[in-house]
Structure 1
Amino acid sequence: MSEPETMSLRFPDPEQRRAIEAAATEAGVSMQEYILSAAYERATAVEMKFLEAFKDSMARSGDAFEAEPSASDPSPEQRAAEQQARVALGQQGQGRAA
């Protein structure tokens, strides 16, 4: 098994490299580890922002469905008819099983 290759750390801006190098040194980690940790933190922050927006969207959708009855929310009459149909089907099934 071979050793993993190191990440290429080329920076077109020497000041940017020095700033990252100094931050990594201050944190007590390699530049590679510092950069990967920063990328992970950024990705996690984006994910959390997305999930918060998704939860807000779900709440708004739920509020909209509660505010306006639709075809997915049957009327009391329709519920009673469905209940009667279930009872009738249950009685028919009992008759055949006997």
Structure 2
Amino acid sequence: MSHPKAMNLRFPDPAQRSAIEAAARQEGVSLQEYILSAAYARATAVEERFLDAFRASMARSGDAFAEEAGTAESGDGRRSAELQARRDLEEQQERGHAA
């Protein structure tokens, strides 16, 4: 039976490796476990941002259908809501790239 191989952790920057090792020691976990936990946390955060954007999109879609029924805001109000939604999405994307 074969044994799983350890992750190959190479860091071109020794200071970066030292900082990550120190953070792992402070958490009381191995370097591998610390890196995997951080990757999982980041993926979960990305998923949550996606779901938030999806929920907002669904709400806007609901508003659009309501407007067709004559219960939503005027054309000017809709346009400003669309522009605000676009700004919100662009801000989320910028924050996602920064993470």
TM over 0.5: yes
**In structure 2, what is the equivalent of residue 93 of structure 1?**
none
Q: Which amino acid is 1:44 matched to?
A: T
Listed one character per residue, the Cα deviations across residues 62-87 of structure 1 (whole Å, up to 9, x for unaligned) are: 00111114xxxxxxxxxxxxxxxxxx
- Runs of 4+ with deviation above 6 angstroms: none
In structure 2, C-alpha distance between the alignment counterparts of 1:3 and 1:23, rounded to whole Å: 28
Q: Which runs of 5+ in 1 are unaligned?
A: 70-98
In structure 1, C-alpha distance between the alignment counterparts of 2:2 and 2:58, rounded to whole Å: 48
In structure 1, C-alpha distance between the alignment counterparts of 2:11 and 2:25, rounded to whole Å: 17
**In structure 2, what is the equivalent of residue 48 of structure 1?**
48
Alignment identity in percent?
72
RMSD over aligned Cα, in angstroms?
Answer: 0.7
Paired residues in the alignment total 69
If asked which structure has higher relative contact order (CA below 8 Å, sep 6+), I would say: 2
- Residue pairs, 1:1-98, within 5 angstroms: 1-69=1-69
Q: Which runs of 5+ in 2 are unaligned?
A: 70-99
SS for the counterpart of 2:47 is helix
Q: Which amino acid is 2:7 matched to?
A: M
Deviation at 1:47? 0.2
